[in-house]
Amino acid sequence: MHNMSSPTSSLFEQIGGQPAVEAAVDNFYRRVLSDDTVSHFFDTVDLDRQRAKQKAFLTMAFGGPHNYSGKDMRTAHARLVVAGLNDAHFDAIVGHLGGTLAELGVAPELIAQVAAIAESTRADVLGR
């Protein structure tokens, strides 16, 4: 048995699990849509579907249960790479992720772990 505060609890548990994803998703999506350098990649007709994708991404980045494979990441972003998705955009998203977590009061060392998980997808997302 271990509890939430135990040093062995997972990153996902330490951040606060699914409720933390729910708390973060509007904040994160609003930052992304308000950033003119990246908003066009996210500005689809269907905001609800896009928000669901953001939730799946945050769950993964928070170290939670997810079904993403590197191949999925590649396929899902291939169209965006053709449209010009590059390192600067990727950095901006990781920045917004950190901004959201800081605003929600998540400890800097946990934010660094989230950023590292996001970083691990860079090559797949950018199709390299």
Tokens of 63: 């170290």
45 binds another protein (CB under 8 A): yes
What angle (nearest 5°) sits at the alpha carbon of residue 74, between those of residues 71 and 76? 105
103: contact with another protein by CB under 8 A: no
Query: Judged by CB under 8 A, does residue 47 bind another protein?
Result: yes
Q: Contact region for another protein (CB under 8 A) — 3-11, 47-55, 84-92, 118-126?
A: 47-55
Does 79 contact another protein by CB under 8 A?
Answer: no
Query: Under the criterion CB under 8 A, does residue 26 sit at the interface with another protein?
Result: yes
Quick one: which of 14, 15, 20, 29 contacts another protein (CB under 8 A)? 29
Q: Does residue 48 bind another protein (CB under 8 A)?
A: yes
Cβ distance 24 to 101 under 8 Å?
Answer: yes
CA distance 79 to 12: 30
Q: Is 88 in the site for another protein (CB under 8 A)?
A: no
Q: Are 126 and 81 in contact (CB under 8 A)?
A: yes
The region that residue 105 occupies, defined by phi over 0 for left and psi between -120 and 50 for alpha, beta otherwise, is left
Residue type at position 111: I
User: Which range binds another protein by CB under 8 A, 12-20, 23-31, 82-90, 97-105?
Assistant: 23-31
Q: Enter the tokens of residue 116.
A: 């590292």
Nearer to another protein, 46 or 109 (CB): 46
Helices (H), strands (E): how many in the chain? Answer: 8, 0
Q: Provide the binding-site residues for another protein, judged by CB under 8 A.
A: 25-26, 29-30, 33-34, 43, 45-48, 51
